[in-house]
Amino acid sequence: MKENENITLEMGGGGQKSAELIAEIRKVIKDVGKWKNTQDDGAVFSLGNENLIFTTDAFIVDPIFFAGGDIGKIAMCGTINDISVMGARPIGISLSIVVEEGFPMEDFKKIISSINKISKESGVPIATGDTKVIEKGKLDKIEITTAGIGLAQNVIANGGAQVGDYVIASGDLGEHTVALLAKRFNYKTKIKSDCQPFNKIIEKVGKYLSACKDPTRGGLAANLNEIADKSKVKVILDENSLPYKKEVVAMTELLGLDKFSLASEGRFIATVAPRDIKKALAILNKFNKEAKVIGRVEKGRGVYLKTELGGLRKIEVPRGKLIPRIC
């Protein structure tokens, strides 16, 4: 980055600028001790025959209530899912809430109820937390920070994809972003946020996954590029198998957005060896009939879309200003 450069919104959007901002942090903070996988969704610490997975996240959603969820639900699901894609069983979450003076108590209780509901559904307890109230005008309504820990015998690393693997999606993507945008622009749609915890799904299918990511900020484009880059492989997506509903595609065309950068909060993308693909899909389809193969892993580098005409179009890491405050 250039000297005297200021922080911009695009640096928090999950695209190329976000990666550059994180790189600046890592120039200063280099010592990670005995922790491994510190650039994956969760850091790994060896505990004899098991591995401790540790992750953290902050949530500043706009709007805080939307079709299919609210900021509390996202905070829980986002943290549980970050642990789960590492192949771990989440065992506890810390919850830190900063709320603006004047925030309606009724809305606060709704958010806490959402947090409690996901905790019960997922079986992951809120182990500890902190709450602060800040003067009116110094925060936009509410901000939630979480941290989570889990245990794994076999870690799923982002760089584990192998040549020949299939690329799968656990369901259709991008519905979280569309639900938030519909609320912002008062756009009528039946689409609801895909926000949900998927730890119980990973418990069933995780042993068949060679790499796994939840495509939140930056969407399919950013997260598949991360898998391809860390695994040193090429990913080829099939245009006829893209995991997007017609309503989602219509919304992106209406607003001039790239569907590959749309975020999901309850889906994962993964790579699976050919010998395991039928078993993995059989499990996934019990949870979501939309789960399917969307591409293959080949020799080379980068992420590409194979078009209906047989050509290849490169899918880059999103650049520029992405949709702000979706998670």
pLDDT surpassing 60 at residue 286: yes
Do 112 and 229 lie in one domain? The reply is: no
Q: Encoding tokens for residue 218?
A: 């930056």
The answer to whether residue 237 is domain-embedded is yes
How far is the C-alpha of 92 from the C-alpha of 139, rounded, in Å?
27
The answer to whether residue 112 is domain-embedded is yes
pLDDT surpassing 60 at residue 250: yes
Q: What is the mean pLDDT of residues 280-305?
A: 98
Burial of residue 308 (number of CB atoms within 10 Å: 0-12, 13-18, 19+): exposed
The answer to whether residue 21 is domain-embedded is no
Cis peptide before 63 (omega within 30 of 0): yes
Q: Encoding tokens for residue 148?
A: 């989570």
Q: Encoding tokens for residue 233?
A: 């492989």
CB 290: neighbour CB atoms within 10 A? 15
Do 81 and 205 lie in one domain? The reply is: no
* pLDDT at position 228: 98
Q: What percent of the chain is modeled with pLDDT above 90?
A: 79
How far is the C-alpha of 98 from the C-alpha of 101, rounded, in Å?
10
Binning pLDDT at 50, 70 and 90, where does residue 13 land?
Answer: low
Residues 224, 294, 90, CA angle at the centre, nearest 5°?
Answer: 60
| Final residue in a domain of this structure, among 119, 152, 185 | 152
Q: What is the mean pLDDT of residues 298-320?
A: 91
* pLDDT at position 22: 76
* pLDDT at position 210: 98
Let me know: does 72 contact 144? Beta carbons within 8 Å: yes
Rounded to the nearest angstrom, the gap between the alpha carbon of residue 181 and the centroid of all alpha carbons in its chain is 18
Amino acid 175 reads E
Give me the CATH number covering residue 96. 3.30.1330.10
Q: Which of 94-98, 122-126, 154-158, 250-254 has the weakest average pLDDT? A: 250-254
The answer to whether residue 297 is domain-embedded is yes
How far is the C-alpha of 262 from the C-alpha of 282, rounded, in Å?
26
Do 127 and 38 lie in one domain? The reply is: yes
Beta strands 166-169 and 234-238: pairing type?
Answer: unpaired
Do 282 and 170 lie in one domain? The reply is: yes
The answer to whether residue 210 is domain-embedded is yes
pLDDT surpassing 60 at residue 324: no
Binning pLDDT at 50, 70 and 90, where does residue 115 land?
Answer: very high
Do 304 and 170 lie in one domain? The reply is: yes
Binning pLDDT at 50, 70 and 90, where does residue 25 land?
Answer: confident
Do 260 and 306 lie in one domain? The reply is: yes
Beta strands 89-100 and 142-152: pairing type?
Answer: antiparallel
Do 227 and 145 lie in one domain? The reply is: no
**Mean of the per-residue pLDDT values for the chain?**
93
| Final residue in a domain of this structure, among 108, 124, 152 | 152
Q: What is the mean pLDDT of residues 218-237?
A: 97
| Final residue in a domain of this structure, among 152, 187, 220 | 152
Residue with tokens 């690393």: 157
- Calculate the alpha carbon distances from 122 to 22, 91, 196, 294 in Å: 30, 10, 9, 27
The answer to whether residue 44 is domain-embedded is yes
Do 126 and 258 lie in one domain? The reply is: no
Give me the CATH number covering residue 235. 3.90.650.10
The answer to whether residue 45 is domain-embedded is yes
Do 120 and 174 lie in one domain? The reply is: no
Q: Encoding tokens for residue 289?
A: 């009939």
The answer to whether residue 161 is domain-embedded is no
Q: How many domains does the chain have?
A: 2
Q: What percent of the chain is modeled with pLDDT above 70?
A: 96
* pLDDT at position 320: 61
pLDDT surpassing 80 at residue 108: yes
* pLDDT at position 1: 65
Do 205 and 242 lie in one domain? The reply is: yes
Residue 205 lies in domain: 166-314
Binning pLDDT at 50, 70 and 90, where does residue 5 land?
Answer: confident
How far is the C-alpha of 244 from the C-alpha of 261, rounded, in Å?
12
Top-confidence residue, 300 or 27: 300
Do 170 and 308 lie in one domain? The reply is: yes
Q: What is the mean pLDDT of residues 25-49?
A: 90
* pLDDT at position 206: 97
Do 139 and 237 lie in one domain? The reply is: no
* pLDDT at position 17: 77
pLDDT surpassing 60 at residue 62: yes
Per-residue HEC secondary structure of the chain comes to: CCCCCCCCHHHHCCCHHHHHHHHHHHHHCCCCCCCECCCCCCEEEEECCEEEEEEEEEECCCCCEECCEEHHHHHHHHHHHHHHCCCCEEEEEEEEEEEECCCCHHHHHHHHHHHHHHHHHHCCCEEEEEEEEECCCCCCCEEEEEEEEEEECCCCCCCCCCCCCEEEECCCCCHHHHHHHHHHHCCCCCCCCCCCCCHHHHHHHHHHEEEEECCCCCHHHHHHHHHHHHHCCEEEEEHHHCCCCHHHHHHHHHHCCCHHHCCCCCCCEEEECHHHHHHHHHHHHHHCCCCEEEEEEECCCEEEEECCCCCEEECCCCCCCCCCCCC
